[in-house]
Amino acid sequence: MKFKNCIVAFGAVLTLSAAYPVQAVDQHVAPPEDPSTKTAKNVIFLVPDGFSQSYASSYRLYKEDGLPIWDEKRMLRGGVQTYSADRAITDSAAAATALASGKKTNNGMVGLTPDGKEVTTMVDVAKQHGKRTGLVATSTITHATPAAFATHVQSRNEYLEIANQLVHNENVDLLFGGGRHEFMPSEKGGLRKDGQNLIEKAKESGYGYIETVNDLETWSGDEQRLLGLFADEALQPVLERGQEEPSLAEMTTQAINFLSQEEAGFFLMVEGSQIDWGGHDNDAAYAMTEMAEFDDAVKVAVDFADTNEETLIVIVADHDTGGMAVHATDKAHPSMLHGVKATGGTIASKVKKNFSNLKKVLEDQTNFKWDSSELKRLKKSKDFTLELNRMISEKAGIAWTTTGHTGVDVPLYAYGVGADLFYGTMNNTDVPGKMSEALGISGF
Ligand SMILES: [Zn+2]
């Protein structure tokens, strides 16, 4: 593939309503000279929530058995600007709305333009062309990223309304994730005060329903739609998940099996939801183990694309979380995080209030050595868990600059049919248009 480097960067200043000036960059790199003319039938869109170039670099150091699949397959295509309609630093709701629909919106809004108009999403466009559609996440399935592909609400926190809209959206065929309680009435132990049992409603509108790993592996119903709610709330972090909840790769495998039965093809969105949560917590072990699970899910998608040969895979984060910096040395290296047995929150919960077992818990749970000055620093900290997470991260050569999101561009990876449509510096609003172009359909 040949690229011409363009010397001049074209820019236009956008003034956002909150007075954060943002430069929207046009393409730095010319398109390939011989773009493929083949059309994809399927798109698998994988979103590592909160991931950026720093995560890519740290994870490469963390991983001990070969390269991440996106490096092995040389999938990197360019960078994506993530700003929202009203902020230089986006949240997941606005970013996912842009990735789903090509429309910028304000932080917090899901599937609506800033003035409240409902957007058309990749799910809608794929369904209009006879394809099956699916959304998979390790958060609740009502969380901002999956929600933006199939619901329209003013606030991402309207989880119960999002659940309602998900079940009633006729363009959706498959939903896998957590959040069972948001679909169930309070009389049955759920969170709904409106008396609705959305799991029953889903069954009435043609969904098969599953909720265990065994269900997921053995389901053989005739239904043309499938709802899988594998936890009452979000799935457990990978570090603490156990056997009773599925991995992202298992959910992705079964989602592809189900969706690929449709002759016209499918659109599948898969989110590694909790990479972002590790970032917010400044918990490097949490973030890296979630990355490993995401890597496995991408591998499932790549294996399918290699045999199917009519599939486009696109990977892009919604934004960076935590402002991670890579400080790896021989003495402090991300691979050392393999010795950490739990998230910082869980480790902290094992420490007695008088700190009498502090050293023992830390040595048991992290495999790092802890000297008296470090223990003192921890005991004096205002936020014990955050300080612990930052210290574990430092011991692994990873530093953080914030517990929020940052505004850095995020890398975009693509593979398979139509991958060469993605190149250079892109905007998050470009992504759905390019995915539908690869499918040979319009809609954005
Ligand atoms: Zn976040």
Task: Output the pLDDT for position 442.
Answer: 82
Of the candidates 120, 61, 135, 71, the one whose C-alpha atom is nearest the C-alpha of residue 298 is 71
Answer whether 408's CB lies under 8 Å from 75's CB: no
Label the pairing between strands 225-229 and 174-178.
parallel
What angle separates helix 358-366 from helix 384-395, to the nearest 10 degrees?
A: 50
Ligand 1 ion: residues within 5 Å (CB): 276
Question: Which residues participate in the annotated binding site for Zn(2+)?
Answer: 49, 276, 280, 318-319, 405
In DSSP notation, 79-97 reads: EEE---SS-SS--HHHHHH
Q: What percent of the chain has pLDDT over 90?
A: 90
Q: 94-123 in b/e burial notation, b at 16+ Cβ within 10 A?
A: bbbbbbbbbbbbbbbbbbbbeeeeebbbbb
Strands across the sheet containing 225-229: 207-210, 225-229, 174-178, 132-140, 266-272, 42-48, 311-316, 410-416, 76-81, 424-427
Catalogue the active-site residues: 92
Of the candidates 421, 310, 424, 352, the one whose C-alpha atom is nearest the C-alpha of residue 36 is 421
Question: Which residues participate in the annotated binding site?
Answer: 49, 143, 145, 271, 276, 280, 318-319, 405
DSSP letter (8 states) at residue 414: E
Q: Which CATH class is domain 41-324+403-438?
A: alpha beta
Is pLDDT of 334 > 50? yes
Task: Output the pLDDT for position 444.
Answer: 78
Question: Which residues participate in the annotated binding site for Mg(2+)?
Answer: 49, 143, 145, 271
What is the Cα–Cα distance from 287 to 427, expressed in whole angstroms? Answer: 25
Of the candidates 139, 53, 144, 162, the one whose C-alpha atom is nearest the C-alpha of residue 91 is 144
Beta carbons within 8 Å of 47's beta carbon, 6+ residues apart: 96, 99, 145, 269, 270, 271, 272, 315, 316, 317, 318
What is this model's ipTM? Answer: 0.97
Cα(284) to centroid of ligand 1, in Å? 15
Q: What is the pLDDT of residues 1-52, one digit of tens each?
A: 444 444 334 445 555 555 556 677 766 666 666 666 789 999 999 999 999 9
Half-sphere exposure of 335 (CA within 13 A, CB side): 9
Of the candidates 166, 165, 148, the one whose C-alpha atom is nearest the C-alpha of residue 95 is 148
Q: What is the pLDDT of residues 357-398, one digit of tens each?
A: 999 999 999 999 999 999 999 999 999 999 999 999 999 999
In DSSP notation, 176-215 reads: EEE-GGGGSBGGGTSSBSS---HHHHHHHTTEEEE-SHHH
Cα(435) to centroid of ligand 1, in Å? 24
C-alpha 25, offset from chain centre: 24
Domains of the chain, by residue range, sit at: 41-324+403-438, 333-399
Beta carbons within 8 Å of 263's beta carbon, 6+ residues apart: none
Cα(179) to centroid of ligand 1, in Å? 18
Answer whether 259's CB lies under 8 Å from 266's CB: yes
Label the pairing between strands 325-326 and 266-272.
unpaired
Cα(48) to centroid of ligand 1, in Å? 11
Q: What is the dihedral of CA 181, 183, 185, 186, to 10 degrees?
A: 20
Task: Output the pLDDT for position 169.
Answer: 98
| Mean pLDDT along residues 133-157 | 98
Cα(319) to centroid of ligand 1, in Å? 8
Task: Output the pLDDT for position 443.
Answer: 75
Beta-bridge mates of residue 413: 76, 315
